[in-house]
């Protein structure tokens, strides 16, 4: 995909191109499946799906259906009705599996992300006297940092000793793949676990999860990923890559509501292993769960890591959103995502070209294979003023200290015309004439 021919087009011709792309877009109908935030009766340009995805219009109906089941059946809703609540997680497994590249039994919607991260660590972080260290990337999402730090301390280790963090080189924004792989090789003899994000929340960088997994496992090291910013954003093949475990949230690109249910992946090679785990009754073998006997007997697959009675209303919204992904197809969404994000990159390049200097630096990798639909913009000195100006124009992005603006063109509901309008707002901010 090469959009460089758009760089020098007059603004009106660029607008025409964007409108034609929207007309030709085979996924354009999905925009109408979401509620678009409005201001003064006009839809906002919402480029913040990396923080909270938009509400599917089917969400309310999905919740109403379960409220009706509760109203009609009361506690018997766990066993009666068109679709009983007892096995509700199963209604989501097929769609989730396609999104992350897994077998249905390898995934399960449950709990919240950091809870699941701790659960996975309880099972997969098994340190020995020689191998007790963990490798991650520097500056991962704070919740992950806190979880890793406190989990290591809980096990009796000093994070300053037990945690190896791979950082970008001096003057660079992202971690080079070769540096990450070299660090695994260098510390292989003392590593018990490699655990990083799959897509970095701040820079938007996608890590080479396949290569990381292959190399680490060659040395007998287990591998896990936090896919909070990857799930629903980029296609993955967790099963084929051999990833040991993964966790994610559902309220970003999976559009399942604020604080929506999390999800886990556990590779089938671990399903029959006697892994230690922190258990709860909802992870107990479903056919015998209500026997209330001593001795934990886990359900087969990832569902065996469930803890408590699930939030059916949250699962209902999650299921409604997953149905949209099932219909659209993650590979189709990825193709549009690459074009939308590429167009936003061109819009940024046009600003720099017209200014004659690099007004906006891209922190996110240029290669589409190394990014999702997020671009992180570095604007020195006047970054917050620019962010506020965009917000005033109805362009909703995300501000991160000290000087980063994150914009995410989501293929399910953003358009090429909206990206053109972002360019117009940037030109107006710097008072370029059309």
Look up residue 120 and give its two tokens.
């996975």
Given a cut of 60, whether residue 74 has pLDDT beyond it is yes
The overall average pLDDT reported for the chain is: 95
Instruction: Compute the Cα dihedral for 394, 397, 398, 402 and give only its sign.
Output: negative
Q: How many residues are present in the chain? A: 434
Q: What is the pLDDT of residue 223?
A: 98
Give CA 353 to chain center in angstroms: 32
391-to-148, 196, 228, 279 alpha-carbon distances in Å: 35, 32, 25, 45
pTM recorded for the entire structure = 0.96
pLDDT of amino acid 1: 64
Domains annotated on the chain, with CATH = 4-33+331-429 (3.90.1150.10), 60-328 (3.40.640.10)
Structural contact between residues 364 and 374, judged by C-beta atoms closer than 8 angstroms: yes
Res. 81: pLDDT tops 80: no
Residue 434 has pLDDT above 70, yes or no: no
CA–CA distance, 21 with 26 (Å, rounded to integer): 10
Distance CA 374, CA 202 (A): 9
What pLDDT sits at residue 219?
Answer: 97
SS3 content of the chain, % helix, strand, coil (to 5): 45, 15, 40
Per cent of the chain over pLDDT 90 is 90
pLDDT tens sequence across 237-273: 999 999 999 999 999 999 999 999 999 999 999 998 7
Q: What is the model's pLDDT at position 431? A: 84
The backbone torsions φ and ψ at residue 209, rounded to the nearest 5 degrees and listed phi first, read -65, -35
Structure token digits, residue 374: 């997020």
């Amino acid at each position: 995909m090469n959009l460089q021919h758009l760089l020098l087009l007059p603004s009106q011709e660029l607008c025409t191109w964007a409108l034609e792309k929207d007309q030709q877009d085979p996924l354009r109908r999905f925009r109408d499946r979401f509620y678009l935030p409005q201001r003064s009766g006009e839809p906002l340009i919402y480029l913040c799906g990396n923080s909270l995805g938009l509400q599917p219009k089917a969400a309310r109906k999905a919740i109403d259906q379960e409220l009706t089941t509760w109203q009609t059946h009361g506690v018997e809703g766990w066993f009666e009705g068109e679709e009983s609540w007892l096995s509700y997680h199963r209604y989501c497994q097929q769609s989730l599996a396609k999104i992350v590249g897994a077998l249905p039994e390898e995934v399960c919607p449950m709990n919240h992300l950091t809870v699941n991260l701790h659960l996975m660590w309880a099972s997969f972080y098994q340190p020995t006297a020689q191998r007790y260290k963990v490798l991650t990337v520097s500056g991962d999402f704070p919740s992950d940092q806190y979880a890793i730090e406190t989990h290591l301390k809980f096990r009796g280790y000093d994070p300053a000793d037990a945690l190896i963090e791979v950082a970008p080189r001096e003057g660079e924004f992202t971690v080079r793949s070769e540096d990450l792989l070299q660090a695994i090789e260098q510390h292989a003899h003392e590593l018990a676990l490699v655990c990083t994000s799959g897509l970095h929340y701040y820079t938007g960088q996608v890590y080479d999860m396949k290569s990381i997994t292959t190399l680490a496992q060659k040395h007998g090291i287990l591998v896990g990923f936090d896919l909070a910013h990857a799930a629903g954003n980029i296609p993955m093949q967790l099963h084929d890559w051999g990833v040991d475990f993964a966790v994610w949230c559902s309220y970003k690109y999976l559009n399942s509501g604020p604080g929506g249910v999390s999800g886990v992946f556990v590779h089938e090679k671990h399903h029959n292993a006697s892994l230690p785990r922190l258990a709860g009754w909802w992870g107990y073998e479903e056919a015998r769960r209500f026997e209330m006997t001593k001795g934990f007997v886990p359900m087969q697959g990832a569902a065996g890591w469930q803890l408590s009675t699930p939030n059916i209303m949250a699962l209902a919204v999650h299921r409604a959103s997953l149905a949209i992904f099932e219909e659209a197809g993650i590979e189709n969404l990825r193709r549009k995502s690459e074009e939308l994000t590429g167009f936003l990159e061109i819009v940024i390049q046009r600003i720099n070209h017209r200014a004659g200097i690099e007004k906006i630096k891209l922190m996110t990798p240029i290669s589409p294979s190394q990014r999702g639909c997020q671009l992180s913009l570095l604007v020195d000195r006047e970054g917050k003023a620019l962010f506020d100006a965009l917000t005033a124009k109805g362009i909703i992005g995300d501000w991160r200290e000290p000087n980063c603006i994150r914009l995410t063109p989501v293929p399910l509901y953003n358009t090429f015309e909206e990206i053109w309008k972002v360019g117009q707002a940037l030109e107006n901010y710097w008072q370029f004439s059309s």
